[in-house]
Amino acid sequence: MRPDRPSLTARVIARGVVFAAGDRRLREILPPDAVELDSRLLLEAGVVKPWMLRLYRRPWYRSFFAWVVRNSATGQLVTLPVRKRFMDDEARRAIEGGARQLLVVGAGFDTLALRIAQRYPEVECYEIDHPATQRVKRLALESLKIDRPNLHLVALDLASTTLPDALRQTPGWRKEAVSVVAAEGLLCYLDESEVTRLLDGVRSSIARGSTLLLSHMRTDENGEIVFGRHARLMKAALEAIGEPVKWAIAQPALGGFLAAHGYALVRSPTPDELRARYLEPVGLGHEVVGHIELMAVAKVA
pLDDT in tens, 40-61: 999 999 999 999 999 999 999 9
Check residues 122 and 233 and name the one with the higher pLDDT: 122
Rounded distance between C-alpha atoms, residue 116 and residue 95, angstroms: 9
Please name the residues in contact with 150: beta carbons below 8 A apart, sequence gap of 6 or more.
117, 121, 122, 123, 124, 125
pLDDT in tens, 258-284: 999 999 999 999 999 999 999 999 999
pLDDT of amino acid 237: 66
Terminal Cα distance for the chain, rounded: 35
pLDDT of amino acid 130: 87
Kindly state the percentage of the chain with pLDDT values over 90: 58
Thinking of the domain 8-300, which architecture would CATH place it in?
3-Layer(aba) Sandwich (3.40)
In the predicted model, is pLDDT for residue 1 greater than 70? no
State the average pLDDT for the chain: 89
pLDDT of amino acid 75: 66
pLDDT of amino acid 2: 53
pLDDT-derived band at 122, boundaries 50, 70, 90:
very high
pLDDT-derived band at 9, boundaries 50, 70, 90:
confident
- Greatest Cα pair distance, the chain, in angstroms, is 53
- What is the reported pTM? 0.92
